[in-house]
Amino acid sequence: MTTSLFSERVDLLDNPTAGRVSFVAHLSNRKARSKYEQLLVEGPQAVRELVRFAPAAVRDVYVDVELVKHHHDLLVEARKITDFVHPCTRQVVNAMSSDAQGICAVANLEQLPIVSAEQFAAPSNELIMVLARIQDPGNAGTMIRVADAFGAQAVYATSGTVDMTSPKVVRASAGSAFHLPIVTGQFSDLVSALRRDGYQVFGTAVQATLTLDELLASRSQSLQGPVALVFGNEARGLAEDERELCDELLSIPMYGEAESLNVATAAAVITSAVARVRHQS
């Protein structure tokens, strides 16, 4: 154990039943996150992005002492921003989270860019992804990562979408949840605001008036402006009233026997294609 990595202000945490340990574990619960306005961040990738992109939000980092060497570079980064990097026994880290891979962190929600629609002004000429009642945290996290990778400037999450502060969402986003603002609100409020701001709002549906390939082939010029891409619930897609609020509905041409794509896959296909057009000009 490289003790010099740790501040004198912290001791080895070795009691898996201590109050602090169950408090951290309890942050997997939405009500607890909301009550304490704190978030649990699991695994080296998500912790690293938290430390880099939202250092002011970091409260505590917990690391398995047996894995200090393995996480050395990340711990050095973390120590630059906080004294509260705690060495823990493996049992303690495992009691905090079964998905920590030896390291997890607690962050203040208030210092993270997860905001309501009223607090957020959409940038003027950008790409925005809208998650409309996405239920699965793995899908939601993957979609945030896709949005980030292809240059979206914000992710909107409509009411009924899985809680964006869920540790599973953050983990599936591979830390992209800390890279761009996440804006929450009612579908109609979010989409109306986007249209007012000049955004072209494309919904997605299996049955649609326009295919992605047609859009790319004939109307790529129109993709240079502000564009919002809206993806609906896994089982039911976009609801009738949600579709009506979009400017147009897009489908993805498919050539085999598969009837549909997983929503995160669909988001990757459409967002990457739109981003390619926007960056070619």
The residues that touch a second copy, with contacts defined as CB under 8 A, are: 49, 53, 142, 145-152, 174, 176, 179-180, 213, 216-217, 252-262, 264-265, 268-269, 272-273, 275-276, 279-280
The CB-of-261 to a second copy minimum distance in angstroms stands at 6
Q: Which residues pair with 104 in a beta bridge?
A: 42, 62
The CB-of-268 to a second copy minimum distance in angstroms stands at 5
The CB-of-152 to a second copy minimum distance in angstroms stands at 7
When the beta carbons of 19 and 255 are compared against a second copy, the nearer one is 255
Q: From its phi and psi, is residue 3 left (phi > 0), alpha (psi between -120 and 50) or beta?
A: alpha
When the beta carbons of 24 and 143 are compared against a second copy, the nearer one is 143
The CB-of-146 to a second copy minimum distance in angstroms stands at 6
Beta strands in the chain (DSSP E): 38-42, 58-64, 85-88, 103-108, 114-116, 127-131, 154-158, 182-185, 200-204, 210-211, 227-231, 248-251
When the beta carbons of 157 and 270 are compared against a second copy, the nearer one is 270
Contacts of 171 (CB under 8 A, 6+ apart): 42, 43, 45, 46, 99, 141
The CB-of-112 to a second copy minimum distance in angstroms stands at 15
Tell me the HSE value of 280 on the side-chain side, using a 13 A CA sphere. 10
The CB-of-178 to a second copy minimum distance in angstroms stands at 9
204: nearest Cα among 138, 270, 137: 270
When the beta carbons of 236 and 279 are compared against a second copy, the nearer one is 279
Residue position matching structure tokens 């912290």: 10
When the beta carbons of 19 and 256 are compared against a second copy, the nearer one is 256
Asked if residue 270 lies in contact with residue 228, where contact means CB atoms within 8 angstroms, the answer is no
The CB-of-64 to a second copy minimum distance in angstroms stands at 19
Beta strands in 109-175 (DSSP E): 114-116, 127-131, 154-158
CA-to-CA distance for 199 and 201, rounded, in angstroms? 6
Residue position matching structure tokens 């240079």: 224
When the beta carbons of 121 and 258 are compared against a second copy, the nearer one is 258
When the beta carbons of 88 and 129 are compared against a second copy, the nearer one is 129
CA-to-CA distance for 40 and 22, rounded, in angstroms? 12
Contacts of 20 (CB under 8 A, 6+ apart): 13
When the beta carbons of 155 and 238 are compared against a second copy, the nearer one is 155
The CB-of-211 to a second copy minimum distance in angstroms stands at 10
Q: Cα Rg for the chain, rounded, in angstroms?
A: 21
